[in-house]
A = this chain, B = another copy of it.
């Protein structure tokens, strides 16, 4: 989205340098951002989204839409996701059947043998 270098992130987000550095480190460790060297001397990195990070966008888009209603409640939000010259107003369809997903009809199916998030997290941190 046009912002990649440490100084650009800092200007955009207005965070203290140590806070921003810690967050970027955390996001790199989780594979959401990857550092790319753009200057050899002195060594300078820019931080760009990985595929894993890019695939978070539909979540953010829907979270932003929810926040517009329930957090900002009609006031102008701090930022918007824009495409084709207008703010995106997301609606979820299912790629399998093509239909708009009726959230009232959604069912949760549990898979009893499957690993829980806690178990997966434990495995990953043990390695």
Contacts and interface: CB of A to CB of B under 8 A. Distances in A.
Given A59-B63, A62-B92, A109 B79 contact: yes
Interface string A86-127: 111111111111010111111111110111110010000000
Point out which of A81, A83, A84, A114 has the most chain B C-beta atoms below 10 A from its C-beta. A83
- List the number of copies, as a whole number: 2
Interface size class of A (residues with CB under 8 A): 35 or more
Main secondary structure of the interface of A (DSSP, over half): mixed
A116 B77 CA distance: 8
Contact of A76 (B1, B77, B113): B113
A104 B58 CA distance: 11
Contacts of A65: 58
A5 to B, nearest CB: 16
Contacts of A1: 106-108
B57 A103 contact: yes
B101 A61 contact: yes
A77 B108 contact: no
Determine which residue in A71, A102, A113 has the highest number of CB atoms from chain B within 10 A of its CB, and name it: A71
Contacts of A105: 83
Contact of A78 (B94, B107, B114): B114
